[in-house]
């Protein structure tokens, strides 16, 4: 196909296009309007840049035509979509209550009611027999809106005022208000574009951060005094566009922490919560590549300060820092003088164990560790006399070989137990209270799965795929005079072992005939948890295997795992995913004709890159809000995913970075060749990956691809990056994905 053949088409639809073999429905084709880019002496022509014009009726008409086309193609699957929706709905206890958590004499919880999209936030006195008090009914607040998201939610120490922030568009632009919980009245002030908020100890001073209107970078800290009538004071403004702000209060209640962070560097400032008119002070000034995170304790690792006033400005800061190793270590510093020369090591760096989180309580600490691709919760008992913190610690034992564990709601500093959540591919999410002294655990709740779910019918496996590094492959091929990479080349190279987590029904065949859905992400150091999903049972029960590839660029094996898949090592992410797919095929889990891949956001980049690299390896691609126009986005500093992201992807104003990004950018590397079946989804109000990225990608792919495989584009015109906000609407979205997948693979009931 001549790439310029349709450049002069006058309308957004190209009526000259031949009929699609998909049920004889003609797909829309966006018109082409060339826009030339030249940088580093490299010329690119973008024919679909005009789709960025969100206010242009022609753009909206094009998006609506894509929705109409997708709806028409999927019309025969409506009955299956309804079946799947009812199945998934039938497994959910629609009227339910969360496990209450205690805070300053109250028990806080959320409640859902059958037929209502959103939870209701409530509290009651901790004394027996007290009545429930509704704090926020999100269903009422959602009236008149297609979307509702809750951001900040913080109550004053005297339990009187609630600061909360709502997003009604999906653009993640939150408006904060203050509610008098005793009278039910709202204060008239509204703070726009709020990203975080925290109360001081005086019950009337609120600190909050706001974002820039265009780039959505959280860049300013304000102080609001309830009832003062004075304009809110600007306390701090961050000029460096790589850095974003967050304000929070320590669990001890003693300090407010302002964290100023890029993807690779952190700076924390602190202010006594009892002195809200004071000046924020440094923990340690920012240094390139130094990341650290802070909590507070009146006197860690000793028993002398039991009963200390939590608003005492003494004590120590506990600091999780990557100084001394990429997998972090734990140090303490006196509040009176927290500069780095005063830091004292508590837990040293362990190269194979990532300290991924820290939570501080009066009687104990909780470290979130990652080792071997799995999370662990380590309890450091501060009542024990021991030569070091590790000797006074133990891990909470987990019953399965592959799982996810995380700290639950634990706001009380004086709690003598740890609430944590546990789940796996086959074990529903469970909430436990763990006694630090006796090491006994109490089950507080197991997520109900209605309809007779039996975990014994399903199998979890943990696989490890040997993958050579991109650098090793490149060197080996150079030694061979530029030969093509093959298994013989791989066998001679040092390899990385990439974990894959797999789940399937016991009666699913392992002879290569089963369909398999492989999920991947691999960016920002984010770990893909082994979460339970009752919705996923609708696939497993139809013989579909589900797998997650824990590829480099993610955080499953700590910060070095992230380092191995970012900047000029980003292509390792794609090699890992392709190797995982080949490994599953070779092991008889599936075949290329039955393999479906799925990812979203930066995982959508993964989908686009691997589909370009190995379109023959996959039958189908499901791509949610995909980051596929890497070069154009990273060259536009006005967008949210740009300046701050240079530390993840590189800066294309630098020639080496530009050409490396160009080598994998999905949009740039689309070609006239066969591609797998695709379902691409986005939200018109997405603030993280703008809708036009997938719109441009689909438009260009339609014009280039030489196959007759379905290419569907579904746009939620009233949501953003996370899709539908209502729980029933969200189930409808999943039912559509599953129905298309099952129909295209020919999976019958």
Residue 687: active-site member: no
Residue pLDDT, tens place only, 260-276:
999 999 999 999 999 99
Instruction: Give me the percent of the chain exceeding a pLDDT of 90.
Output: 85
Number of H helices, E strands in the chain: 14, 38
Q: Which of 157, 368, 136, 135 is nearest to 256 (CA)?
A: 157
Which residues, in sequence order, are bridge partners of residue 545? 516
Q: Which of 150, 135, 78, 194 is nearest to 722 (CA)?
A: 150
Q: Cα–Cα distance between 273 and 257 in angstroms, integer?
A: 9
Q: Indicate whether 85 and 113 sit together in one domain.
A: no
* Helix runs in 587-666, H state only: 602-613, 630-634, 646-649, 655-664
Residue 722 has a pLDDT of: 85
Residue 480 — pLDDT band, cuts 50, 70, 90?
low
Note whether residue 673 is domain-resident: yes
* Residues spanned by the domain of 117: 95-144
601, 687, 699, 725: which one is catalytic?
601
Looking up tokens 């530390």 gives 647
Minimum mean pLDDT among 35-39, 227-231, 718-722: which range? 718-722
For residue 332, pLDDT over 70 is answered with: yes
Structure tokens at 66: 């894509």
Residues 6 or more apart whose Cβ sits within 8 Å of residue 92: 448, 450, 534
Q: Indicate whether 85 and 137 sit together in one domain.
A: no
Residue 475 — pLDDT band, cuts 50, 70, 90?
low
C-alpha dihedral sign at 284, 290, 291, 295: negative
Q: Count how many Cα atoms sit within 13 Å of the Cα of residue 217 in the half-sphere of its side chain.
A: 23
Distances (CA, A) of 368 to 135, 246, 353, 360: 31, 21, 10, 12
Instruction: Give me the percent of the chain exceeding a pLDDT of 70.
Output: 91
Which residues, in sequence order, are bridge partners of residue 394? 379
Note whether residue 697 is domain-resident: yes
Residue 22 — pLDDT band, cuts 50, 70, 90?
very low
Residues 6 or more apart whose Cβ sits within 8 Å of residue 405: 375, 376, 377, 396, 398, 420, 421, 422
For residue 290, pLDDT over 90 is answered with: yes
Please tell me the total count of domains within the chain.
2
Note whether residue 116 is domain-resident: yes
Q: Indicate whether 85 and 119 sit together in one domain.
A: no
Residue pLDDT, tens place only, 414-437:
999 999 999 999 999 999 999 999
Q: What CATH number did the domain enclosing 640 receive?
A: 3.40.50.1820
Residue 640 — pLDDT band, cuts 50, 70, 90?
confident
Residue 700 has a pLDDT of: 98
For residue 494, pLDDT over 90 is answered with: no
Strands 255-261 and 244-249: antiparallel
Q: What are phi and psi of 211, to 5 degrees?
A: -105, 155
Mean pLDDT within 687-712: 96
For residue 412, pLDDT over 50 is answered with: yes
Q: Cα–Cα distance between 389 and 366 in angstroms, integer?
A: 11
More confident residue, 582 or 386: 582
Residue pLDDT, tens place only, 344-384:
999 999 999 999 999 999 999 999 999 999 999 999 998 88
Residues 6 or more apart whose Cβ sits within 8 Å of residue 400: 424, 427, 460
Q: Which of 602, 705, 638, 670 is nearest to 45 (CA)?
A: 670
Q: Indicate whether 111 and 85 sit together in one domain.
A: no
Residue 361 has a pLDDT of: 95
686, 687, 699, 725: which one is catalytic?
686
Note whether residue 33 is domain-resident: no
Q: Do the Cβ atoms of 639 and 215 come closer than 8 Å?
A: yes
Note whether residue 727 is domain-resident: yes
More confident residue, 677 or 16: 677
What's the mean pLDDT when you consider all of the chain? 91
For residue 476, pLDDT over 80 is answered with: no
Q: Indicate whether 85 and 128 sit together in one domain.
A: no
Mean pLDDT within 33-59: 96
Distances (CA, A) of 479 to 474, 475, 489, 495: 9, 6, 11, 18
Q: Indicate whether 551 and 523 sit together in one domain.
A: yes
Q: Cα–Cα distance between 593 and 93 in angstroms, integer?
A: 37
3-class SS of residue 468: strand
Residue 478 — pLDDT band, cuts 50, 70, 90?
low
For residue 8, pLDDT over 70 is answered with: no
Residue 511 — pLDDT band, cuts 50, 70, 90?
very high
Please give the sequence-ordered ranges of beta strands (E in DSSP) within 47-180, or none if there are none. Answer: 96-97, 101-103, 106-112, 120-125, 133-137, 149-155, 161-167, 175-180
Residue 686: active-site member: yes
Last residue of a domain, one of 106, 122, 144: 144
DSSP character at residue 448: -
For residue 578, pLDDT over 70 is answered with: yes
Structure tokens at 404: 């996810």
Note whether residue 121 is domain-resident: yes
Residues 6 or more apart whose Cβ sits within 8 Å of residue 700: 47, 48, 667, 670
Note whether residue 708 is domain-resident: yes
Note whether residue 267 is domain-resident: no
Residue 721: active-site member: yes
Residue 213 has a pLDDT of: 85
Minimum mean pLDDT among 207-211, 213-217, 225-229, 734-738: which range? 213-217
């Amino acid at each position: 196909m001549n790439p310029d053949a349709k450049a002069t088409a006058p309308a957004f639809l190209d009526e000259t296009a031949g009929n699609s073999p998909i049920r004889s429905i003609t797909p829309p084709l966006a018109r082409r309007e060339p826009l030339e880019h030249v940088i580093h002496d490299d010329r690119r022509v973008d024919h679909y840049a005009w789709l960025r014009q969100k206010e242009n009726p022609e753009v909206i008409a094009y998006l609506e035509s894509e929705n109409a086309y997708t709806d028409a193609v999927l019309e025969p699957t409506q009955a299956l979509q309804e079946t799947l929706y009812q199945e998934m709905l039938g497994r959910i206890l629609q009227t339910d209550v969360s496990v209450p958590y205690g805070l300053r004499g109250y028990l806080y919880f959320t409640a859902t009611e059958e037929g209502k999209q959103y939870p209701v936030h409530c509290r009651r006195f901790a004394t027996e027999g007290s009545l429930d008090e509704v704090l926020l009914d999100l269903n009422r607040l959602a009236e008149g809106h297609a979307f509702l998201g809750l951001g900040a939610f913080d109550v004053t120490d005297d339990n009187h005022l609630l600061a909360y922030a709502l997003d009604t568009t999906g653009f993640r632009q939150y408006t904060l208000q203050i509610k008098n919980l005793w009278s039910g009245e709202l204060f008239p002030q509204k703070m726009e574009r709020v990203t975080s908020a925290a109360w001081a100890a005086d019950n009337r001073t609120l600190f909050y951060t706001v974002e820039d209107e265009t780039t959505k970078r959280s860049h300013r800290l304000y102080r609001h005094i309830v009832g003062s009538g004075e304009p809110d004071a600007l306390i701090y403004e961050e000029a460096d566009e790589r850095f974003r702000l967050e304000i929070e209060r320590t669990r001890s209640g003693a300090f407010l922490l302002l964290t100023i962070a890029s993807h690779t560097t952190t700076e924390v400032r602190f202010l006594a919560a009892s002195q809200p008119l004071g000046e924020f002070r440094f923990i340690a000034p920012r240094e390139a590549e130094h990341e650290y995170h802070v909590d507070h304790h009146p006197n860690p690792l000793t028993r002398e300060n039991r009963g200390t006033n939590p608003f005492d400005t003494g004590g120590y800061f506990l600091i999780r820092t990557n100084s001394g190793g990429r997998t972090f270590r734990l140090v303490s510093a006196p509040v009176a003088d927290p500069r780095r020369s005063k830091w004292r090591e508590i837990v040293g760096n362990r190269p194979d164990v990532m300290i991924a989180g820290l939570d501080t309580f009066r009687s104990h600490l909780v470290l979130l560790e990652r080792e071997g691709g799995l999370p662990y919760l380590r309890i450091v008992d501060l009542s024990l006399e021991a030569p070091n913190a590790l000797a006074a610690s133990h891990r909470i034992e987990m019953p399965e070989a592959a799982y996810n564990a995380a700290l639950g709601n634990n706001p009380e500093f004086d709690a003598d137990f740890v609430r944590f959540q546990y789940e796996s591919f086959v074990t529903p999410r469970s909430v436990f209270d763990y006694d630090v002294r006796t090491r006994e655990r109490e089950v507080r709740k197991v997520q109900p799965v209605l309809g007779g779910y039996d975990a014994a019918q399903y199998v979890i496996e943990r696989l490890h795929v040997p993958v050579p590094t991109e650098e090793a492959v490149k060197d080996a091929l150079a030694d061979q005079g530029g030969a093509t990479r093959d298994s013989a080349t791989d066998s001679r190279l040092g390899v990385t072992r990439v974990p894959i987590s797999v789940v399937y029904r016991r009666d699913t065949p392992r002879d290569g005939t089963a369909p398999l859905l492989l999920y991947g992400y691999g960016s920002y150091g984010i770990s893909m948890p082994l979460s339970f999903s009752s919705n996923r049972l609708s696939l497993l029960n139809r013989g579909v295997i589900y797998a997650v590839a824990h590829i480099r660029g993610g955080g499953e094996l700590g910060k070095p795992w992230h380092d191995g898949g970012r900047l000029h090592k980003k292509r390792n992410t794609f090699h890992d995913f392709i190797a995982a797919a080949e490994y599953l095929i070779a092991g008889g889990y599936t075949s290329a004709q039955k393999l479906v891949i799925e990812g979203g956001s930066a995982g959508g980049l993964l989908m686009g890159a691997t589909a370009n690299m190995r379109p023959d390896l996959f039958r189908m691609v499901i791509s949610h809000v995909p980051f596929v126009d890497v070069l154009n986005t990273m060259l536009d500093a006005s967008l949210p995913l740009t300046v701050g992201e240079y530390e993840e992807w590189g800066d294309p104003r630098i020639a080496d970075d530009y050409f490396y990004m160009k080598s994998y950018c999905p949009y740039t590397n689309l070609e006239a060749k066969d591609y797998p079946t695709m379902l691409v989804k986005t939200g018109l109000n997405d603030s993280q990956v703008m809708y036009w990225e997938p719109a441009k990608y689909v438009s260009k792919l339609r014009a280039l691809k030489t196959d007759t495989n379905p290419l569907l584009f579904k746009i939620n015109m009233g949501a953003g990056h996370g899709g539908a906000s209502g729980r029933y609407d969200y189930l409808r979205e999943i039912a559509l994905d599953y129905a298309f997948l099952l129909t295209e693979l020919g999976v019958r009931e």
